[in-house]
Amino acid sequence: MYTILKKHFGYDQFRPHQEDIINHTLKGNDSLVLMPTGGGKSLCYQLPALKFDGITLVISPLIALMKDQVDSLNTSGISAEYINSSLNNSQIEAIKIRAQIGDVKILYLAPERLSIDSFRQFLKTLPVSLIAIDEAHCISQWGHDFRPEYRNLSILRKDFPKTPVIALTATATEKVRDDIISQLKIKNAKVFTSSFNRPNLTYIVEPKKQAYQKLLQYLKKYQDQPAIIYCFSRKDTEKLAKDLNSDGHSALPYHAGLNNLERNLNQEKFIRDEVNIMVATIAFGMGIDKPDVRLVVHYDLPRTIEGYYQETGRAGRDDLPSDCVLFYSWGDKIKHDFFINQIYDLEERQKAVIKLQEMLDYAGLVTCRRDYLLNYFGEISNANNCNLCDICQGSKEEFDATAITQKILSAIYKTGQRFGAGFIVKILRGAKDKKITSIERELSVYGIAPDFSEAQIKKIITHLISRGLVVKTGVQYPILNISSKGLNFLKQKETIFLPVLKEEIVSKDEKNVDLDYDYDLFVKLKILRKQFADTQGVPPFAIFGDKSLHEMAYYLPKNEAAFANIHGVGSFKLEQFSSSFLKVINEYVIDNNLSSPAVSSLSKTNRKLTSAKTYDETKTLIIQKLSLEQMADVRQLTINTIISHLEKLSKENPELDISYLKPNASKFDEIKKAFSQSKTQVLTPVFKRLNGKYSFEDLRLARIFLSN
């Protein structure tokens, strides 16, 4: 598994739970995987797909996401295809034939296909080894994104009763989890729950005052880096994109009102780094797999916590620090209320009301936002301060809130404990509102807090609720009551200090990254990455993610051996891209008289790659006639790196005996013939000519003996 992990995906180790899930799947067992967006769900079925003999079917509801995943897999040397409504009949038939002859390892499918009987019959002709259900929460009526077509998925269990099923989702409450298991008929499935915590994301809620100017500040902080901005309506989406372009940014809209061609073109430009900002409607959703999004902004209030969490999860999928900003105003609730009231089914309407209230509670928090999100998904968090949300990063300065608290509690009590926060604020501020009767205007509490703004009083009320002095009851029309603790506060004339929450957050370092990488070199590497991506017709992140480029611009690898240890570099990408990237890096190092940091810190396995010494160590093992596997084990290097040592050593030391490592005669002759027919020393054409029969390591090793 580790060989496949490094070869195709370029990773040296698994993320939490991945290895356990993969082992469980390889034993032919069903599973339900709950893992946050960016946590590595895809690998949990992609790696087993390479171990199984047959084909893996992946059900995905999002066409764009399928394309991104297939592009990334193909760029990593894995044969993958998708079938959905974006393809014509002839394209679909060609893919079906390839799947039947075993030329496709992973096949992505839209759920609607399963309602077509002829397509089901086609699937039965395939040796299906694994079925993966992505976005599995869509099958549940209790989920935030229920899709009726997902109900067809139980058919797969009927058609392939012995094939293991792995269902995956990033957002599912306990009720939704139970429903997924029931609907998919995988009652014996093992449930794997990863932490919902995304430690690289900072959660921020901003008052929706001068929102556009604040947005520009955040975009300046992440200048020229990818950002997604979610808006409530198509009209808002179009206007905001236009305004941003007028202010010098590159932004495009994305919503259901655009025709398919324009929508797909806009998304492609964003994925390929041709535009930095995508402004999208919350309702439509984008379904992208772009790992380097540094900023996700909700310009309007989302409908549900699940939707909000999933959308913020599109930030920082490469594990690099990113911001998630929500602009909030009470007016957003009124917009949602209008549409909720249009829901005919009473049960569905009540469900929507509860979901919206949960979102309002989140927006109005005075305690840790991360804690709230983790607790919402059933994960107990005891952290007092995450230091990665606006609440925990806020000022610790406090003020004596005794007087204003007494006024608020008195107003609640004297109005009969039958009104919500909005009405109490109006009473305290002495509002000339028609809903306030002459009797209420005569109350001693009317107009006694003119020095506090409406927003300030509401924030203080939220604090009092969190402190247990005030209780909020009801969902659709919540009202405020004084708790026994609050009554005791008034009777005993207690004092209370509350934190002063500043509206503006302190900007962090603009680079906001773990490594102090050379930014100018990073830009040069991005340009090179874009050139490769355009040539191959794939998004730039399919070549290398930002995390890989950051490491290149920090560690400054000088040769293939060092380059092979960069995050995300597998043998397939090493063969295709290393020489070009190393050329840019080495030229930059010479031009700027740079020196590399300690290369031993390059990987967590403490590989020692100091140039002369590392080759000498390998040479000693060759003299001892160790096999490739033994040398890799002793040196704690990949086999591919050992082969790169062989290439260099055999050229510099022709007398060095490496003949014992030569592939057996039949294998060598077959590879030799393929090189001759391909008329090239490049491995990829030879690999394709042999239909992947031999690994890139096999081909590279044989090439050494062909050259000698």
| pLDDT at residue 212, rounded to an integer | 93
Q: What is the pLDDT of residues 336-394, one digit of tens each?
A: 888 888 888 888 888 888 888 889 889 988 888 998 888 888 877 665 568 888 888 87
User: Are 620 and 649 a contacting pair, CB within 8 Å?
Assistant: no
User: Domain locations in the chain?
Assistant: 2-193, 201-393, 398-499
* 475: Cβ contacts below 8 Å, ≥ 6 apart: 350, 353, 354, 357
Q: What is the pLDDT of residues 464-480, one digit of tens each?
A: 987 889 998 876 667 89
Structure tokens at 481: 């009551």
131 forms beta bridges with: 57, 165
313/142: higher pLDDT: 313
- Asked whether residue 83 carries a pLDDT value surpassing 90, the answer given is yes
Residue from 266, 233, 272, 268 nearest 251 by CA: 266
322 forms beta bridges with: 201
- Asked whether residue 294 carries a pLDDT value surpassing 80, the answer given is yes
pTM over 0.75: no
**Residue 685 burial (CB < 10 Å; 0-12/13-18/19+)?**
middle
Q: Does 201-393 match 398-499 in CATH topology?
A: no
Q: What is the pLDDT of residues 476-513, one digit of tens each?
A: 667 899 999 999 999 988 888 887 744 432 233 333 33
| pLDDT at residue 155, rounded to an integer | 87
| pLDDT at residue 167, rounded to an integer | 92
- Looking at residues 674-698, what average pLDDT do you find? 79
| pLDDT at residue 691, rounded to an integer | 82
108: which DSSP letter? Answer: E
CA distance 553 to 540: 17
CA distance 216 to 226: 14
Q: Is 690 helix (H, G, I), strand (E, B) or coil?
A: coil
Structure tokens at 343: 């829901």
- Looking at residues 687-700, what average pLDDT do you find? 81
- End-to-end alpha carbon distance in the chain: 33
Q: What angle do CA 97, 99, 100 make, to 5 degrees?
A: 65
* 433: Cβ contacts below 8 Å, ≥ 6 apart: 426
299 pLDDT band (50/70/90 cuts)?
very high
- Looking at residues 67-84, what average pLDDT do you find? 88
State the alpha helices, DSSP H only, in 433-559: 438-441, 454-467, 484-491, 519-536, 540-543, 546-555
- Asked whether residue 602 carries a pLDDT value surpassing 50, the answer given is no
| pLDDT at residue 338, rounded to an integer | 84
- Indicate the helix (H) or strand (E) that contains 253: strand 251-254
Return the amino acid letter for 70.
V
- Asked whether residue 453 carries a pLDDT value surpassing 70, the answer given is yes
Residue 63 backbone dihedrals phi, psi, to 5 degrees: -60, -45
Buried (b) or exposed (e) across 537-549, using 16+ Cβ within 10 A? Answer: ebbbbbbbbbbbb
**Residue 171 burial (CB < 10 Å; 0-12/13-18/19+)?**
buried
132 forms beta bridges with: 58, 166
Q: What is the pLDDT of residues 109-122, one digit of tens each?
A: 988 898 899 999 99
Q: Token match 């993966």: residue?
A: 132
Q: Homologous superfamily of 2-193 in CATH?
A: P-loop containing nucleotide triphosphate hydrolases (3.40.50.300)
Residue 326 backbone dihedrals phi, psi, to 5 degrees: -120, 120
Alpha-carbon 119 to chain mean position: 32
Residue from 195, 119, 130, 128 nearest 152 by CA: 119
CA torsion sign for 272, 267, 286, 42 is negative
Q: What angle do CA 429, 430, 433 make, to 5 degrees?
A: 115
| pLDDT at residue 636, rounded to an integer | 67
Q: What share of the chain is helix, strand, coil (3-state, %, to 5)?
A: 50, 10, 40
389: which DSSP letter? Answer: B
CATH number of this structure's domain 201-393: 3.40.50.300
204 pLDDT band (50/70/90 cuts)?
very high
551 pLDDT band (50/70/90 cuts)?
confident
Q: Is 469 helix (H, G, I), strand (E, B) or coil?
A: coil
Q: What is the mean pLDDT of the chain?
A: 84
- Looking at residues 618-622, what average pLDDT do you find? 86
Question: Which listed CATH number (3.30.43.10, 1.10.3720.10, 1.10.10.10, 1.10.40.30) goes with 398-499?
Answer: 1.10.10.10
CA-CA distances (angstroms) from residue 58 to 32, 102, 105, 138, 189? 14, 16, 11, 14, 18
% the chain with pLDDT above 70: 89
DSSP state string for 313-352? TTS-TTSS-EEEEEEE-HHHHHHHHHHHTT--SHHHHHHH
- Looking at residues 187-197, what average pLDDT do you find? 87
User: Are 111 and 149 a contacting pair, CB within 8 Å?
Assistant: yes
Q: What is the pLDDT of residues 421-449, one digit of tens each?
A: 888 998 998 887 767 877 778 888 899 98
Structure tokens at 91: 């394209």
| Mean pLDDT comparison of 25-34, 449-458, 461-470, 618-627, highest-scoring range | 25-34
User: Are 416 and 428 a contacting pair, CB within 8 Å?
Assistant: no
